Amino acid sequence: MSDDDDSRKQKATVIGGCCCLLLALAGGLIGCSFGIVGINEVGLDFDSIAVVVDDSKLFENGRFFIGLGHGFLLYPTYLMTVEFKKAGSEDIGWDTDKSASGGVLACASKDGQQLDIELSYFVRIDTSDVSNVVNLYNAHKFNYLQTLVQISQDAIKGTSTQFNTYEYFQNRTAISEAFEKSLSATLQQMYMTVHSVQLRDIQLTAGFEARAPAPAARARPRRRARPRVGASPPLVRLAQPPRRHPPRRRRSRTRSSPHSATRR
């Protein structure tokens, strides 16, 4: 009886261990079959076994059972900041998923003046349709910020040649609107929308004041001198009429006769 009891205990231990192992394995498989989409994010269901993206549904914030071997391709829905500023700044690059930065933009005006422009704007991925996110993944994968900075530079430099140098200081609002329109048309191919383009700083090359024609100075009207209080009134001299001299009489020259000479 003792040998039978020992064998039964061993079998029960083995069976119990196998059951625990199966339960743990099943729990791990079930846990791996869930995916999480964070706040301000959307996700695409990616089948890593078949290497296929499900383009029929876009998942928003939550926990979802998507199956074993599946995962989410996550893209942000918040506004991302794009900045072009002076080289040497600490945050130049695209090493974060919330901002992208490039160096100062070397542009040219309509009259050929070189300009160093610093600006910033906000951009957001258009997640209103699942096809937009799918096409963005197929075209750029997760390197879309680097591509965004490159094509934004080309759009801004192409638009800068539409304005004269003086307009950059006298009509900056219209130039910002032109930049925003150009960026919106360019980034539409990446399924993104542009918001709030701001011109932060504009620098000219040295010697611009010497080459540029000076603006015409306006003629200021002359001010009349006001009389002081208590001062004597100015003397007014009346113009005297010119004096008229009597006409001179002409003397008649008499010729001397021979008779008068003899009389003398």
pLDDT digits (tens, 9 = 90+) for 213-246: 544 445 555 666 565 555 555 554 545 555 665 5
List Cβ neighbours of 252 (8 Å cut-off, separation of 6 or more): none
pLDDT, position 217: 46
Q: Tally Cβ neighbours within 10 Å of residue 221.
A: 6
User: Over pLDDT 90: what percentage of the chain?
Assistant: 44
Residue 80 has pLDDT above 50, yes or no: yes
pLDDT digits (tens, 9 = 90+) for 15-46: 777 777 777 766 666 667 788 999 999 999 99
Q: Rounded CA gap, 161 and 111, in Å?
A: 8
Residue 91 has pLDDT above 50, yes or no: no
Stretch 109-116: mean pLDDT: 92
Q: Rounded CA gap, 194 and 76, in Å?
A: 15
pLDDT, position 248: 61
Q: Which of 94, 107, 85 is nearest to 178 (CA)?
A: 107
Element (H, E) at 5: helix 2-32
What residue ranges define each of the domains in the chain, with the CATH number in brackets? Answer: 35-77 (no CATH), 80-207 (3.30.479.30)
Q: Are 148 and 123 in contact (CB under 8 A)?
A: yes
Q: Rounded CA gap, 78 and 1, in Å?
A: 72
Q: Rounded CA gap, 8 and 107, in Å?
A: 86
